[in-house]
Amino acid sequence: MDSVDWLPRHTEQLDDLEPLRYFALGCLEAAAKGGATCLYDGRLAASALLEERPELEHVRITYATMWRSSTATHPLIAIDPEHGPVLRYRSALETNSVEHPLPNGLTEAQMYACVESHLSDAVAVVHRWRPGDLVIVNNRIMVHARQPFTGRRVMARYRYDDPHYRTVILGR
């Protein structure tokens, strides 16, 4: 039901050492208004960030959640063997711990503002849901967020290779 807040921009499951490879979202019932899923290209954001502030390659953030005991530390910009520099990121939350000191006297607020700005420039998809839609996301490339919405909506989520929840039992 109604959500007045944005779901902050994030890579799914950064409290794991290896973030999920893929997840899929499906729409069974769309909200009356809003609720679009926004996808940002983490490769574009990483390249632009490194061009503006190369020292950000040294930033590391530890991520936790309220609902699991696992934590993991990730570089802000990962070097993916397949895709090169990729931003893997979650917007400022109290369960983020930025490793200090930050390079060149950068404050956390400055670092987050810089990343958010480059993510805004790297928006790739704003998907407005209709019943029957299915979106598959490469979680190691894309950062996602969700707009506020009003009314009821029903979504299905599937996580590929989730180490915590087996959402599909494979046949033998």
Q: Which amino acid is at 123?
A: V
Contact segment (CB under 5 A) with Fe ion among 6-14, 52-60, 135-143, 164-172 equals 6-14
- Measured from the CB of residue 71, what is the shortest distance to Fe ion in angstroms? 17
Q: Is 12 one of the binding residues for Fe ion (CB under 5 A)?
A: yes
Instruction: Confirm if 48 and 122 have CB atoms less than 8 A apart.
Output: yes
Contact segment (CB under 5 A) with Fe ion among 5-13, 54-62, 132-140, 152-160 equals 5-13
What proportions of the chain, in percent to the nearest 5, are helix, strand and coil? 20, 35, 45
- 149 torsion bin: left (phi>0), alpha (psi -120 to 50), beta (else): beta
Q: Is 15 one of the binding residues for Fe ion (CB under 5 A)?
A: no
Contact segment (CB under 5 A) with Fe ion among 9-17, 76-84, 93-101, 126-134 equals 9-17
- Measured from the CB of residue 51, what is the shortest distance to Fe ion in angstroms? 27
Give the span between the Cα atoms of 139 and 39, in whole angstroms.
10
- Measured from the CB of residue 104, what is the shortest distance to Fe ion in angstroms? 31
**151, two tokens:** 């009314």
Contact segment (CB under 5 A) with Fe ion among 8-16, 70-78, 119-127, 154-162 equals 8-16
Number of residues that bind Fe ion (CB under 5 A): 1
Instruction: Give the nearer residue to Fe ion in terms of CB position, either 12 or 41.
Output: 12
Give the span between the Cα atoms of 117 and 126, in whole angstroms.
17
Give the span between the Cα atoms of 162 and 96, in whole angstroms.
21
Which residues make up the interface to Fe ion (CB under 5 A)? 12
